[in-house]
Amino acid sequence: MRPISDDMRTSMRGAAAVFAERGFDGTTMEALREVTGVPTSTLYYYFEGKEQVLTFLLEDWLDRTAAAAAEAIATERTAKERLGDLVAAQLTAMANDPATCQVLLAELGRIDRLPHIAEAVQSAFHRPVAKLLADGAADRHLRSVDVDVATSVLYGAVIISGLHHIIDARDEVPAFDATEVAASVMDLVLHGLESEE
Amino acid sequence: MRPISDDMRTSMRGAAAVFAERGFDGTTMEALREVTGVPTSTLYYYFEGKEQVLTFLLEDWLDRTAAAAAEAIATERTAKERLGDLVAAQLTAMANDPATCQVLLAELGRIDRLPHIAEAVQSAFHRPVAKLLADGAADRHLRSVDVDVATSVLYGAVIISGLHHIIDARDEVPAFDATEVAASVMDLVLHGLESEE
DNA sequence: CTGTAACTTGTAATATGTTTCCAATACCGA
DNA sequence: TCGGTATTGGAAACATATTACAAGTTACAG
């Protein structure tokens, strides 16, 4: 893949929507040409094929999300509070780019064959959570739990809740109120389901 | 789609593994013929196309999972206990058929265009959970929470935890110890992350 | 200004794979 | 046996990804 200029990056914006709507195989290069305005030949000049167009979009979004996540947790607040901020940041990224996010989900099943994407998911979702869980155990605001289980649970909770709202919202952007959803999810994840009686 | 005989159902078993390994578009009808032993013409006689082969596999698995879920919650135990049983049943279904499960995840993003599948997911995952949450609020063993949020969170937690283990396990069947994973997930979901100090 | 290399795009060819069609054969109930 | 349905092989139609290539355009170093 050749280096992508900012112009090209902007042109490719709309491509995610096509993948989201029609699925990978339902998306023709012709459709990408139509929506981006970039001629097919040019697409092949920059990308090695259709799949690379897709992975470019995913990595681009994941990188931005990872940056937002890193920023969200780099404060002086308690680990518990920062965990809420992190979830809110992740959901905000989802709400603001529902199409890409939907496509990412569609690739989750074969993520083991897309090492770059798997790594980017780690950076944007798992690693920040793992860090906060460790911090939280240290500052005593969070229970000490199995980090692997907890990151999976939290990742699943965030991504599926977000996807649920995205599908409900059809094509609106932002697809949902990230702060509100984050608050609901965090309430559940922090306090659990069990009655305190 | 013509009615599928039990013989044919059995023949199609292996197909999910191909979809899981190569992805939908990477899977050729030729590969399906090879792995199932069913000639291409016959596949087209029964299914309207490649996509319908896939949705058949998903519905078949989801129907079985829904039945297992229904059975798991039809006991005299408390709602809290039955919730654990339900999660264990769902994870067992996943562990026993990792390929199909992986493919299901891969279709989650476009589930809004597969109404049958969406409905089957509701039956196998969301509705049983929703019922138990209501029961649990009634019998006071569970907190009264927003059902929509909680079902999404729980669904995400289960499916992503399961997928995580499936990917780790590569091709082993069962892919992981469902009882053990269910216990970890339930601990987290019931008690939450917050420290009780 | 000019030459060179990189960028961009249209057109045409090729390769792969899905899907349709149809005729031949096997199977099965009345 | 007869009539219909199920099953299958083979060929052909069709769509699309991908490659090849030539020609136009731009950026920029010298």
The CATH-assigned architecture of domain B57-191 is Orthogonal Bundle (1.10)
Write out chain B residues lying below 8 Å of A159, CB-based: 156, 160
Domain boundaries along the sequence of chain A? 57-191
* Residues contacting residue A184 through CB under 8 Å, at least 6 positions apart: A161, B146, B149
Pull the structure tokens for residue B121.
Answer: 């997911």
| E strand or H helix at B20 | helix B15-22
| CA angle, residues A28, A30, A34, in degrees to nearest 5 | 120
Please check whether residue A40 is in contact with residue A30, taking contact to mean a CB–CB distance below 8 angstroms. Answer: yes
Partner-chain contact B142 A167, CB within 8 Å: no
- Å from the B45 CA to the D1 C1': 28
DSSP code string of B122-181: IIIIIHHHHHHHHHHHHHTSB----HHHHHHHHHHHHHHHHHHHHHHHTT-SS-S-HHHH
| D chain positions with any atom within 7 Å of a protein CB | 6-10, 15-22
pLDDT at A197: 56
CA nearest to A196 within chain B? B143
Please check whether residue B78 is in contact with residue B86, taking contact to mean a CB–CB distance below 8 angstroms. Answer: no
Partner-chain contact A149 B25, CB within 8 Å: no
With an 8 Å Cβ cutoff, is A115 touching chain B? no
DSSP code string of A12-46: HTTHHHHHHHH-TTT--HHHHHHHH---HHHHHHH
Write out chain B residues lying below 8 Å of A125, CB-based: none
Q: What is the pLDDT of residues B87-146, one digit of tens each?
A: 999 999 999 999 999 999 888 877 878 888 999 999 999 999 999 999 999 999 999 999
Please report where in the chains the tokens 């809740």 appear, as a residue: A161
Q: What is the pLDDT of residues A120-151, one digit of tens each?
A: 999 999 999 999 999 999 999 999 999 999 99
With an 8 Å Cβ cutoff, is A20 touching chain B? yes
Q: What is the pLDDT of residues B103-120, one digit of tens each?
A: 998 888 778 788 889 999
Distance in angstroms (rounded) separating the CA atoms of residues A126 and B164? 12
Q: What is the pLDDT of residues A149-174, one digit of tens each?
A: 999 999 999 999 999 999 999 889 99
Please check whether residue B40 is in contact with residue B33, taking contact to mean a CB–CB distance below 8 angstroms. Answer: yes
Of B140, B157, B160, the CB nearest to A195: B140
